[in-house]
Structure formats: structure tokens, C-alpha cells
Chain A
Amino acid sequence: MKNSRRQVFYIVGLVPILFLLAFYVLPLGVVFEKAVQGVQQTLQRADLLSKIGKPLGFTIYQAILSTLLTVLVGFPIAYVFTHFDFKGKKFFNMAVTLPFILPTVVVAAAFNSLLGSHGWLNLLLMNIFNLQNPPIQWMNTLGIILLAHVFYNTSVFVRMVGAAWAQLEVQQEQAARILGANAWQRFRRITLPLLKPSIISALLMVFLFDFTSFGVILLLGGPAFSTLEVEIYLQTTQMLDLPMAGILSMIQLVITFCIAALTLREKKAGSIAFLPDIKNERLQKPRTHTQKVFLAVLLVFVILFFVLPEVSLLLRSLVRLEADRTQIGQISTGFTLDFYKELFQNTRRSLFYVPPIQALKNSVLYALATTLIAGVLGVISAYGLTRVRRTGLLRALVNLPLGTSSVTLGLGFLLTFTRLSFFQDFPQVLVPIAHSLIALPVVISTLYPAFSAIPSNMHAAAGVLGASPINVLIKIDLPLIRRPMLVGALYAFILSLGEFGATSFLTRPAFPTLPVAIYRYLSLPGAMNYGQAMAMACILMLVCAFSMFIMDKFSSQDVVS
């Protein structure tokens, strides 16, 4: 009896490993195998070191800067969201998260309508100071890269750290307060050590997102900046130099592994068990003057930094903005719903026209499937990793998909799976699988600190009472990690909604996702195409906001019951 339970435990544990072997190791192996042919020649190139060194240096440099800035912005926001109860909190929480799903072209358009040469800010400054030329030149600077990375990834930090912070038990802090510890001491000695595993997990995720950043560097950073990911893309798709792309991919993987391993060493020391605070005792209305000012300042920042670009995007999809035909600087504007209406007409009678509702349906179905796959595999993996000893290497390895170039992975999928008849019949299965690969590290990183924080004596007690590991998981662990689980599920869902890199390799004409459809519109000139792309992006934002709303409903109901 006992033995067969153990067997079930191990067999279930094998599922994520088999998944990764089949859909990650295998396709990458196929690409690397192709890349190895001719690698000898590439290795002898005289300019090899500069070809690798320059993008490598910049990749790490910008990723460190971006991560630090994200923490700087994210920490106060996480604090406010977990400590204060105020009107519109859900809205602000959403506003911080929405950028995560936006395709880079759309973010570029949003920034452009705010900061561009005819953006509101420049027009305002030109009017006030009577300037001839727009004072803010933001395109193609390091600044815009960092800004965009913070814009994209702050929510990852806020949600991951926030989920842990919200369920820290308050007794210890209260005890410390009674013993005379001041706020800083309580934070340094109690809160920070308890949050450390989640902070490090969140740092790693943010770092890896910045490290493998592609669209931001290419579209916003411009030709002067190049990262490994961008180089891999160029070598693969423009130079058709697979050996070079393979070498760069390999380097990216090795560094991802090293960084993941580095953060793991830290994690062990910081991991302290706690019981989650389910009653939200920490949450209160801001009372003191300082608290109110702090909250106000922070919310103004959130409005300026996150809400404003989103609103300007929404406006952009509703306002006709034609350059005046006689004088530059003057713009004839008008409110219009045309862009949305036009979305539903196949004006070109094209074979590949897909109604936006269809693209929307595809996106949502892919996202649901991704949530399911990454969620189940993530729970099994995170649980397994806390229950089995000496898993350090494995825990570093599960992060690798995040550090893998989506161009390489997409190519691997094409070469490995498109020939199999099953995937020829059901090509759309590959998209959620590819999305799950990218989502899985995020889910595991969210769940692992939560799992390892559960006091082991609870497991021991359950074990003594005869509960199997599966039973322990269902009855004890899962209820205790509800919040991190929702965060994991949310990110699996929205990662899939917004993903473009690997998807662009795998979507079939009949099954495009919303981001793919947006890029299609923007590939042709014309105000209508531009407007429709903006309208589509707003639909994407609304879908994302709506799903967050639903998940929020789920979580609050569950907390009550």
C-alpha cells in the first residue's frame, strides 16, 4: 500500500520532466544539432569575440539596470497594495499589470502619442516655452529601454512579492513592536528575511525577462543597441547563419543557468517557514498623515507611469488623427468608432482574413490551455522540488526555458514537430505547449517559495495520520498556497495572451492570436490599419483586465469560504 503510493508520487513527478524532455530538450537539441554543422568555421572567425562580447555585455548591463529600477518602483507599490485598503485598488492593480500583455509595437505607439514629437507632453512643453522643436527626444535611447522594461515588468515583482507579503503572519511583527522595535528594525529583521525567498524569485524572473528582451530593444532601442536575443534573431532570420545563432543561444542558456543557480544558493539560507495570514489582518485604511501622503504620491506616480499610456492608447483607438494637409503641427481630430467597426469587415476578401472575434477566441483558448498545462505541471514540479532532497540543479534547470531565445525555440518546434502527422492535423496544439514552456518557470518560481514556507511539521503530522503525499498536497498545501497559485495562473494566462515571439513561428493562418493580428495590421501603411491595430490592442487590454477581474472574484470568494 505504502509502496504503491510512493510509486504514484514518482510517476506523477515524472510528468513535468517528460514534458520538458519532449517539448524543450528535444526541439532545442534538433536546432543545436543543425547548428553544429559548420560551427568549426564560425569558431575560427577573427571577429568572433567582438560579435559575442558586445551584445553580451550590453545584455547583462541593461538587464541589471532594468531589474534594479523595477525593484525601486515595484517595492513601494507592493507595500501599498498589501498594507492599505483604498478606493480603486483593484483598478490600480490592474493598471500596473496590463502592460505585461501589450505587444511592443503597441507600447511604442502609446509612448509615441505621449512623448512623440506630436505627443501631448512635447506639444505642452513647446507651447509653454515657445519652442520650435520638440524638447523630448526619447526614441532610440537607453532611457526608453529601461523605461519600457520597468513599464512591462513591475507587475511581476509587485504580484510575486505582494502575494507573499499579504500572507505573512502579523503576530511576529506585533510581538516585535511590543518589544520596542521600530518600523525599520521590524522591516529589516522580520519582514525582509521572511520575504527574501519571494523577492529573490521575483528578481530572477524580472531579470530573465529583461535579459531575453527582444521587442523593446529592437523597436524602441533602435540600431545602436543589440542584445543576445536580438543577435540570435538577426543571425537566424537575416543572415541565415545558424552556427552563429547556435553559439549565441548556448551562451544565453549558460548564463541563465548560472544566474538561476546563483539565486538558489541564496534562497536556502533565507527560507523560513510561516503560516499564511488568511484573514488579511495587515490590510487597513491609511491613517496617519505620512501614510496618506505616501499613498497619494505613489498613486499619482502609478497614474502617470502606467495609467496614462494605457488611456492614451484607448484614445488613439477612438480618435481619428490625420495630419493636416497644409500645415504640420496642426491636427484635425474627431471621435470615431470606425476602427472597431472596420475590424469586422473583410474588405480585402483575403484568404487569410480572420475575424477579430476569431483571433480573440484563439487567444483566450490558447491562454486557458496554457494556464491548465503550466498550472498543473507547475504545481507538480514545485511540490516535487520541495519534497525531494538535493534538487538544486533541477531547480536551476527549470528556469532555462525563460532564458531560451524564442527564435531558437520556435525554429526547434518547426523542425521537430511540423513533420509529425499529429501536429500537421492539429497544428494549434503547439502554441499552448510553447506558451506553457515559458510560463512554467514563472509558475514554479511563484509556487516554490510558498510550498517551502509551509512548516514541515504539518506534513509530518499528516504523514503520521496516514495521509499520502498526494493527499497532503490536496488537503494541506494547496489551500495554503492559494494566493501564489492565483498569481502563477494569472501570469501563465497573460503570458500566453501577450506572447508573440514563439507564436509568430507557430501560428497557422487560420488560427492567429491577437498580437499576431495586431502585427499584421501594422505591416501596411494607412490610417485605417494603424487605427485597427490600436483598436485590437485595446481589445487585448480589455480581455486581460476582464480575466484579472474574474480571477480576483475567484480569490476573494475562496478566502471567505
Chain B
Amino acid sequence: MKRNSITISTILALLAVVILNGCQQEEPRTLTVVTHDSFAIGEDVIRQFEQENDVTVNFVLSGDTGSALNKVILTKDAPLGDVFYGVDNTFLSRALDEDIFESYQSPMLADISEEFILDEEYRALPVDYGDVCINYDKAYFNARDIAVPQNLDDLLDPTYAGMLVVENPAVSSPGLAFLLATIAQYGEEGYLDYWQQLYENDVVVVNDWETAYYSNFSASSGLGPQPMVVSYATSPAAEVIFASEPLQESPTASIIGTNACFRQVEFVGILEGTPNRDLAQKFIDYMLSVPFQQDIPMNMFVLPVNVNAQLPAEFEAYIQIPDAPATLPFEQIAASREAWIQAWQETVLQ
């Protein structure tokens, strides 16, 4: 009996620790930023903003891109934060239709390339972009003396039968981006034909990026069977940065021919009805400024939109940025997304 009571009091004490751990001292003002799980940024970058403005920045990570947006939409009558970062061009229309953002024409937009400013009313402001590209296993093609495909057309060549693994666009964000690239290239009339031919050329489909990259891709640690995978233009740099022993060159590279990559842009906006509009504006200006922008690549493996931001050395050395990435009007993506995915599933998962 005595032992039992000791056990119980130990458990209770531990429980108390859990609860007390959460006690944090209240700062005079708090800015709450709602974002997705993949958000990451250097600690000193945020501390600097906090010190300059005498504010605590509180990040609320709310699941993947879709979940986070969903949550913001469902709570728009009583917003959970002041700023929402992380809606991309595939979901942008949805966010704008639901009126979750207040317009803000940040002065920092002057330093941002015109191509990224998609919302003419400045409710959603671009923060970063990333290209979804096919990565290939350099050693595989070298050893076999096979030419690397240069664009989407090349992939239909029987030489590459069974060599490409793609993600299910219904599940995976890069999978959807690659589907959108094919729609940009072949149009709504032609893309299903293309996929039919890709299917006949034994394209491998898995659900998620993790499986595609780590189980199927031959150049990853999973040592899978396919030498080509739909991933990101920044992945070759990540392979070097996160190598288990120092590498001189990346084991992978990207295929960056016309429309072979799809460009994803991520946006930030001030949540409608915030009582901290002044701070929210300052934070957005800060996100678009050089110190924050330069810290983005190493933390999130996407690229800064500010033209003055320098890329880290590993990025300069190991990534290729496509000259002619595929894009589609975000309104069109929102309108047809479900129908495209449905038609794709009927073609490829037959």
C-alpha cells in the first residue's frame, strides 16, 4: 500500500511538472503568428524583432498547409492570431474568397520581384518560393551512360520506363505541384494524354513525399529502385548540408527544362479583425526584409523573394533555379483542383 502511494505521488509530482513547465512570464504585448508545421526560422532573427519592438512573438503551428488554412478559415469570426503565414498559390484563392486577410501594402514590396505579387489588393504578400522539380540520381545515369531527360516530353521515352516515382496529387503537395506543371505544359485538354503515356511508361506512384524520397528514390538513404523522384529544386543542397559524411558534390540534381518544374509561392497576411494591426504590419515588413529573408533557405529550404537577399553558399553551389518554371493562375487552380485530381486518379490509378 505504501509503495502504491509513493508511486501515485511521484506520478502526481511529474504531472505538476508538466503543467508548471508551461508557465511563462507575460510580456507587455504579444503578437501571435499562425503558421504550418514546416515553419522554421533562426532563433536570433526572431529575438531581434522582439527586442526592437518590445514584443513577444508567439507561433501557433497548426498542421500541414491545408490544415493550417482550414483552421484559420473555420475560426475567422474569432481569429486565433494576428498574422497567418503559409498559404501557397495552390490554396490562395480559397484564402482570399473567405476574406481572412486585411489588405496591407507593405513598403518592402518594392524589393520584391513583380512575378510573386499575385494578389492585386495586397491581402496576401509573398514571402518565399520554391520549385518542385524532378531530382535525379547522378551516379545512376553516369554508371549506365544514359542521357538525363531534359523536359517533360523526354520522360515518355521508353529508355526511362519505370525510372520515375511521383507522389499522389490528392495527398501530397509536391505531387499536386507536378500535376500542375503538366497541366501548364500540355493544357487542360492534353495533360491526361500525357499522364496516360507516362502510365504506359511505368511511372511509379506513391502517396507521400517521404515514401517517394526515402523508400523509392535510389540516391537517398533508402536506396530505392527509381533514379528519378518528384522533389524540390533545393533537395540537392539539402543532400550536401545533411550528408552523413562530407560531400564534395551533391549526389542529386534537378531537371529544369521549360515547364518541368512548378513554382510554389508562399504568402503572409494580416488576419481580419486583429487588435494588433500595428505590430502585424511591422512583423510583415520584417519578414520581407533582408535579415529574415536570408535566414529562410537554411531553415525551410525554400528561396527568398526579396531581390537583395543573398543565398547561402551551399545553395549557390548545389541548386539550379529553372529559367522557365511552370505557373498557373491561382484562380484557375482553385476552381479546377478537385476535378483535375479526380481525372488524374482515374487515368493513373486505373
A-B contact count (CB 8 A): 224
Known contacts: A240-B69, A508-B61, A527-B242. The answer to whether A234 contacts B170 by CB under 8 A is yes
Known contacts: A219-B207, A526-B239. The answer to whether A509 contacts B139 by CB under 8 A is no
Asked if B257 is at the interface of the complex by the 8 Å CB criterion, the answer is no
* Pair A116/B223 contact, Cβ less than 8 Å: yes
Asked if A75 is at the interface of the complex by the 8 Å CB criterion, the answer is no
Closest chain A residue to B24, Cβ basis: A425
Asked if B37 is at the interface of the complex by the 8 Å CB criterion, the answer is yes
Chain B residues within an 8 Å CB radius of A236? 66-67, 70
Asked if A117 is at the interface of the complex by the 8 Å CB criterion, the answer is yes
* Pair A527/B170 contact, Cβ less than 8 Å: no
Asked if B332 is at the interface of the complex by the 8 Å CB criterion, the answer is no
* Pair B244/A369 contact, Cβ less than 8 Å: no
Closest beta carbon of chain B to A407's beta carbon, Å: 8
Closest beta carbon of chain A to B271's beta carbon, Å: 14
Asked if A263 is at the interface of the complex by the 8 Å CB criterion, the answer is no
Asked if A469 is at the interface of the complex by the 8 Å CB criterion, the answer is no
* Pair A108/B205 contact, Cβ less than 8 Å: no
Chain B residues within an 8 Å CB radius of A349? 42-44
Chain A residues within an 8 Å CB radius of B349? 223-224
* Pair A366/B18 contact, Cβ less than 8 Å: yes
Closest beta carbon of chain A to B56's beta carbon, Å: 13
Asked if B251 is at the interface of the complex by the 8 Å CB criterion, the answer is yes
Closest beta carbon of chain A to B332's beta carbon, Å: 17
Closest chain B residue to A522, Cβ basis: B210
* Pair B223/A321 contact, Cβ less than 8 Å: yes
Chain A residues within an 8 Å CB radius of B60? 418, 508
Asked if A281 is at the interface of the complex by the 8 Å CB criterion, the answer is no
* Pair A328/B231 contact, Cβ less than 8 Å: no
Closest beta carbon of chain B to A103's beta carbon, Å: 11
* Pair A219/B208 contact, Cβ less than 8 Å: yes
Known contacts: A224-B349, A325-B139, A526-B239. The answer to whether A411 contacts B41 by CB under 8 A is no
Known contacts: A223-B168, A240-B66, A336-B244. The answer to whether A327 contacts B38 by CB under 8 A is no
Closest beta carbon of chain B to A505's beta carbon, Å: 6
B-contact 0/1 string along A331-351, CB 8 Å cutoff: 100001011000000001111
Chain A residues within an 8 Å CB radius of B182? none
Which of A351, A419, A528 is in CB contact (< 8 Å) with B75? Answer: A419
**How many chain B residues touch the partner (CB < 8 A)?**
87
Chain A residues 367 to 421 lying within 8 A of chain B, measured CB to CB, are 368-369, 371-372, 410-411, 414-415, 418-419
Closest chain B residue to A133, Cβ basis: B225
Asked if B245 is at the interface of the complex by the 8 Å CB criterion, the answer is yes
Chain B residues 224 to 241 lying within 8 A of chain A, measured CB to CB, are 224-225, 227, 231, 235, 238-239, 241
* Pair A351/B171 contact, Cβ less than 8 Å: no
Chain B residues within an 8 Å CB radius of A348? 40, 42, 298-299
Chain B residues within an 8 Å CB radius of A69? none
B-contact 0/1 string along A74-117, CB 8 Å cutoff: 00000000000000000000000000000001001100100011
Asked if A324 is at the interface of the complex by the 8 Å CB criterion, the answer is yes
* Pair B75/A525 contact, Cβ less than 8 Å: no
* Pair B213/A525 contact, Cβ less than 8 Å: yes
* Pair B223/A530 contact, Cβ less than 8 Å: no
* Pair A323/B137 contact, Cβ less than 8 Å: yes
Closest chain B residue to A236, Cβ basis: B70
Asked if B5 is at the interface of the complex by the 8 Å CB criterion, the answer is no
Chain A residues within an 8 Å CB radius of B220? 323, 525, 527, 530
Report the contact-size class of chain A (Cβ under 8 Å from the partner). Answer: 35 or more
Asked if A309 is at the interface of the complex by the 8 Å CB criterion, the answer is no
Closest beta carbon of chain B to A527's beta carbon, Å: 4
Asked if A438 is at the interface of the complex by the 8 Å CB criterion, the answer is no
Chain A residues within an 8 Å CB radius of B42? 348-351
Binds B, one of A15-23, A176-184, A426-434, A442-450: A426-434
A504 to B43, CA, bound (A): 22
Chain A residues 503 to 552 lying within 8 A of chain B, measured CB to CB, are 504-505, 507-509, 520, 522-531
* Pair A320/B244 contact, Cβ less than 8 Å: yes
Asked if B21 is at the interface of the complex by the 8 Å CB criterion, the answer is yes
* Pair A527/B221 contact, Cβ less than 8 Å: yes
* Pair B38/A139 contact, Cβ less than 8 Å: no
* Pair B218/A223 contact, Cβ less than 8 Å: no
Asked if A326 is at the interface of the complex by the 8 Å CB criterion, the answer is yes
Asked if B143 is at the interface of the complex by the 8 Å CB criterion, the answer is yes
Closest chain B residue to A531, Cβ basis: B244
* Pair B18/A505 contact, Cβ less than 8 Å: no
Closest beta carbon of chain B to A137's beta carbon, Å: 9
Which of A321, A323, A529 is in CB contact (< 8 Å) with B218? Answer: A323
Which of A34, A350, A415 is in CB contact (< 8 Å) with B299? Answer: A350
Which of A325, A368, A418, A426 is in CB contact (< 8 Å) with B251? Answer: A325
Chain B residues 158 to 192 lying within 8 A of chain A, measured CB to CB, are 168, 170-171
A318 to B191, CA, bound (A): 45
* Pair B241/A526 contact, Cβ less than 8 Å: yes
Chain B residues within an 8 Å CB radius of A118? 223-224
A322 to B223, CA, bound (A): 8
* Pair A524/B301 contact, Cβ less than 8 Å: yes
Asked if A472 is at the interface of the complex by the 8 Å CB criterion, the answer is no
* Pair A105/B219 contact, Cβ less than 8 Å: no
Closest beta carbon of chain B to A357's beta carbon, Å: 14
Binds A, one of B9-17, B119-127, B193-201, B260-268: B9-17
Which of A222, A339, A369, A427 is in CB contact (< 8 Å) with B15? Answer: A369
* Pair B244/A223 contact, Cβ less than 8 Å: no
Closest beta carbon of chain B to A28's beta carbon, Å: 14
* Pair B239/A112 contact, Cβ less than 8 Å: no
* Pair B171/A234 contact, Cβ less than 8 Å: yes
Closest chain B residue to A226, Cβ basis: B170
Closest beta carbon of chain B to A70's beta carbon, Å: 24
Closest chain A residue to B41, Cβ basis: A351
* Pair A526/B242 contact, Cβ less than 8 Å: yes
* Pair B223/A331 contact, Cβ less than 8 Å: yes
Closest beta carbon of chain B to A269's beta carbon, Å: 36
Closest chain A residue to B61, Cβ basis: A509
Chain A residues within an 8 Å CB radius of B316? none
Closest beta carbon of chain A to B71's beta carbon, Å: 6
A352 to B14, CA, bound (A): 24
Closest chain B residue to A327, Cβ basis: B143
* Pair B222/A530 contact, Cβ less than 8 Å: yes
* Pair A350/B43 contact, Cβ less than 8 Å: yes
Chain B residues 266 to 299 lying within 8 A of chain A, measured CB to CB, are 298-299
Asked if A218 is at the interface of the complex by the 8 Å CB criterion, the answer is yes
Closest beta carbon of chain B to A178's beta carbon, Å: 40
Closest chain A residue to B79, Cβ basis: A419
Chain B residues within an 8 Å CB radius of A351? 40-43, 45-46, 59
Chain A residues within an 8 Å CB radius of B222? 109, 112, 116, 530
Chain B residues within an 8 Å CB radius of A419? 75, 78, 80
A321 to B298, CA, bound (A): 24
Closest chain A residue to B337, Cβ basis: A239
Chain B residues within an 8 Å CB radius of A134? 225
Closest beta carbon of chain B to A515's beta carbon, Å: 13
Closest beta carbon of chain A to B155's beta carbon, Å: 19
* Pair A326/B143 contact, Cβ less than 8 Å: yes
Chain A residues within an 8 Å CB radius of B63? 237, 410, 504-505
A-B contact pairs, 29 of them (CB 8 A): A108-B214, A108-B215, A112-B224, A116-B223, A139-B215, A219-B208, A234-B170, A237-B66, A322-B245, A323-B137, A323-B223, A328-B140, A348-B299, A350-B41, A372-B12, A415-B75, A426-B19, A507-B61, A508-B60, A520-B37, A523-B209, A525-B213, A525-B220, A526-B239, A527-B243, A529-B238, A530-B221, A530-B222, A531-B244
Instruction: Give 5 A-B pairs besides A222-B211, A324-B139, A427-B22 with Cβ atoms closer than 8 angstroms.
Output: A238-B170, A238-B171, A365-B17, A368-B11, A369-B15
Residues in A lying within 8 Å of B, measured CB to CB: 34, 105, 108-109, 112, 116-118, 134, 139-140, 218-219, 221-224, 234, 236-240, 242, 320-328, 331, 336, 338-339, 348-353, 365-366, 368-369, 371-372, 410-411, 414-415, 418-419, 425-429, 432, 504-505, 507-509, 520, 522-531
